[in-house]
Amino acid sequence: MATALEIIVTGLFGAVIGSFLNVVVHRVPRGESLVSPGSHCPECGAPVRPYDNVPIVSWLVLLGRCRDCGARIPVRYPLVELLTLTVVAAVVAVNGFDEDLAAELPFVAGLIALAAIDYDLKLLPNRIVYPLAAWGLLATLLVDRGDLVENLAAGAGAFAFLLLAVILYPRGMGMGDVKLSGAMGLYLGLSVIPALLVAFLSGSIVGLMMIAREGAAARKKAVPFGVFLALGGVVAVLAGPELIDLYEDKFLGE
């Protein structure tokens, strides 16, 4: 079990990761470098001072505006930082403070970045999906978590399953989702099954809620499926094996 201090400290580190993910989310789809130039206001170009670069806090202190030109800083920035803080704290609280974090944190960080980019632009860049897939294999080999054959099979299975879904029901899903679910399978192994279940369930629920509220107009505003895949991936990191056990107890009577 993780102590409260371990959860808090790692959570704050998560907020710093979230701050970096904001850079990733902004720059990767534009094909820009992640390291240079340093963070600057997109409106006036003023560099962000280190003391204005504190996750969540700086946005609140500046009341969401650039210190130099007063341009609005989207609320998305502190929200991604808060989300990453929460997910990282949850991973430590549920899975413990141990060497598995070295595998888990890059995986959930990649999922959060992809969810934000898909939400904004309705695309899942290969520049993040491919490294995530490579990380699935590498983490399986290096951190000794799970069985390589199982994870390869899970990756291929999840890829094939989503490919079938895209062929049968192309609306709202694309090849980016197919590749992402394959990458998730490589990392998660069998836990990719509850991950996909959560993704399809949550996607259906949100879709139906939007149609109920806005009618046909909801179709145009549909939340991209990568957001729900990422949610499923995080749930699987937190509770994948438990969800599989639950299913076996309930339906297979073992």
**Residue ranges in contact with Zn ion by CB under 5 A:** 41, 43-44, 66, 68-69, 71
For Zn ion, the closer CB: 43 or 144: 43
Q: Rounded CA gap, 192 and 81, in Å?
A: 26
Q: Which is nearer to Zn ion, 41 or 132 (CB)?
A: 41
Q: How far is the CB of 72 from Zn ion (least distance, A)?
A: 10
Smallest gap from Cβ 65 to Zn ion, in A, equals 8
Write down the least CB distance from residue 41 to Zn ion, Å.
3
Q: Which is nearer to Zn ion, 71 or 167 (CB)?
A: 71
Q: Which residue do the tokens 């970096």 mark?
A: 20
Indicate left, alpha or beta for 227 from its phi (over 0: left) and psi (-120 to 50: alpha): alpha
Which residue, 75 or 148, is less far from Zn ion as judged by CB? 75
Closest to Zn ion by CB, 44 or 175: 44
Taking the complex as a whole, how short is the minimal distance between the CB of residue 19 and Zn ion, in angstroms? 18
Sign of CA pseudo-dihedral 104, 113, 125, 196: positive
CB of 23 to Zn ion, least distance (A): 16
- Minimum CB distance to Zn ion smaller for 42 or for 96: 42
**46-59 b/e with 16+ CB inside 10 Å = b?**
eebeeebeebbebb
- Cα–Cα distances in Å, from 127 out to 28, 189, 231? 7, 22, 20
Q: How far is the CB of 113 from Zn ion (least distance, A)?
A: 24
The smaller minimum CB distance to Zn ion, of residues 43 and 214, is found at 43
Minimum distance from residue 225 beta carbon to Zn ion (Å): 35
Q: Which of 232, 254, 247 is nearest to 115 (CA)?
A: 232
